Structure 1
Amino acid sequence: MTTQPASATPSRAWPPGYRINPRADGPPPALVAAFRSMPVAAIGDAMSRNIGTYGLRQYHARLDTVLCGPAVTVRVRPGDNLMIHKALMMVQPGDVLVIDGGADVTQALVGGLMRTTCIAKQLGGLVIDGAVRDLVEWAEEGMPIFARGHTHRGPSKDGPGEINIPISCAGMAVLPGDLIVGDADGVIAVPAAEAEDVLRRTRAHLEREAAIRETNRTGTADPERFDAVLRAKGLPV
């Protein structure tokens, strides 16, 4: 009897619409911690200004709350949270659940009972392209959450759904393990392999902004900063 080489072993067969992949490691903890003090707007500027979510709002109360941690991604059928429950069994402290709910807001994907689980699991937060409910509970401190909308209508728990796959969440591509940062301005995903370089560029951008802020404060800004652009477009300035 011959044994197949490992490379010839067939991969696990999942039913159509279902897939559960292992959790992906994100950036090192020290790098995650460094991003906590980086404004999302500055990170976005360092990443070409066209990356990040749109159409989401925060449902936690404090504007100065920061969400920051590696992504555990979930894609669900709109209005169904079976795979979100499964993902909560897999997360590690500090992880951020990023959920592609198809932008549907007719049924909430998470509510107050799941918030209790998130706190017990020490989740870093949630980003949901879908709806939430039990807003009074989510407004309490301790669990940052961004979502598309809210409704009292609850979810089904039938599936299908997928965990730790590439997803699109509110216009933003997210891979498992990407570093997710959210603040009052919005949410952005930093590819894990690029996080160190993005941190360096974000810090350099903040230094440039500090210099511009000082010239704005003192009234010493160079008019050529914008006049040169206008002249290049043919305006007589």
Structure 2
Amino acid sequence: MYINVSADNISVNPEWPRPPQNLVQSLAAYPPALIGDVRNRLDMMSADIRCLTPNARLAGAILPIQVWEGDNLAIHRGLDEAKPGDVLVIAGNGVTNRSVFGGILAEICLSKGVTGVIIDGAVRDIEEINDMGLALYAKATVPAGPSKNGPGAVGKPVACGNVVCNPGDIVIGDHDGIVVVPQSEAFGTLHRLPHQEDMERQIRDRVKATVTD
């Protein structure tokens, strides 16, 4: 960690399988709305988790982090486990009166190759983070900073935006919002997407034909 604080009360699962990057990128070629349709419109985070940065596109393997309300010690500890291509999914219990993420953590994320951050809670330093180019989704912004006392957990399943997120699941986000694809169902989801895309294309073509007739 970059801070001199004991993290003994942060429970850590240090290893879990990440999905292949080519699988993540193949899914990321489709918008979350289409992926959600293929997945029976399940596993999409609630609308109050919204994009706060111009760089809305986000795709990667989930590194789940559970924080104590208004505390970000687990995020600092969790970044020790981050690998390039990870997305931090932070369960903050929806608390918005204290931010748990800001400019310093964003700098660490970029140095570790983290591709985005999703927080069921609040952030600060949003203008600074905008300039960095890190994709960031959260419930709110607030200038009040966090404590660094813990407890918390890293690499264990969390609930974020009303969706259960397991380590190594795939998350895709754009301006519409976020969809989570369990790693075990990723190939099946990808296999069904071209058919769904083609079906929607055919509907649009019929609409255009009706207008031009």
Instruction: Please report the TM-score for the alignment, with normalisation by the length of structure 1.
Output: 0.82
For structure 2, list consecutive stretches of 5 or more residues without a partner in the other structure.
1-7
Letter in 1 for 2:91: D
Letter in 2 for 1:72: L
1:17 and 1:161 in contact (8 A); partners too: yes
Partner Cα distance (2:42, 2:26) in 1: 22
| Deviation per residue, 1:110-162 (Å, 9 max, x gap) | 00111111111111100100000011012225210100111000000000001
Indicate the structure (1 or 2) with the bigger Cα radius of gyration: 1
| Deviation per residue, 1:163-191 (Å, 9 max, x gap) | 11111101111101000111111111101
Partner Cα distance (1:191, 1:59) in 2: 25
Q: Please say if 1:117 is aligned against 2:113.
A: no
| Deviation per residue, 1:71-128 (Å, 9 max, x gap) | 1100111100001001111100110000100000010010011111111111110010
Partner Cα distance (1:23, 1:143) in 2: 25
Q: Please say if 1:46 is aligned against 2:38.
A: yes
Q: Please say if 1:126 is aligned against 2:117.
A: yes
Shift in Å at residue 208 of structure 1?
Answer: 0.6
| Deviation per residue, 1:180-231 (Å, 9 max, x gap) | 11111111110101101101112211111111111111128xxxxxxxxxxx
Partner of 1:60: 53
Partner Cα distance (1:137, 1:36) in 2: 26
Partner Cα distance (1:203, 1:116) in 2: 37
Shift in Å at residue 18 of structure 1?
Answer: 4.0
The ranges of structure 1 where at least 4 consecutive aligned residues each deviate by more than 6 angstroms after the TM superposition are none
Correspondence for 1:20 among 12, 16, 25:
12
Partner Cα distance (2:174, 2:95) in 1: 23
Aligned identity (percent) is 35
Q: Please say if 1:196 is aligned against 2:187.
A: yes
Partner of 2:159: 168
The number of residues matched between the two structures is 204
For structure 1, list consecutive stretches of 5 or more residues without a partner in the other structure.
1-15, 221-237
Shift in Å at residue 17 of structure 1?
Answer: 6.9
Instruction: Please report the TM-score for the alignment, with normalisation by the length of structure 2.
Output: 0.91
Partner Cα distance (2:104, 2:132) in 1: 15
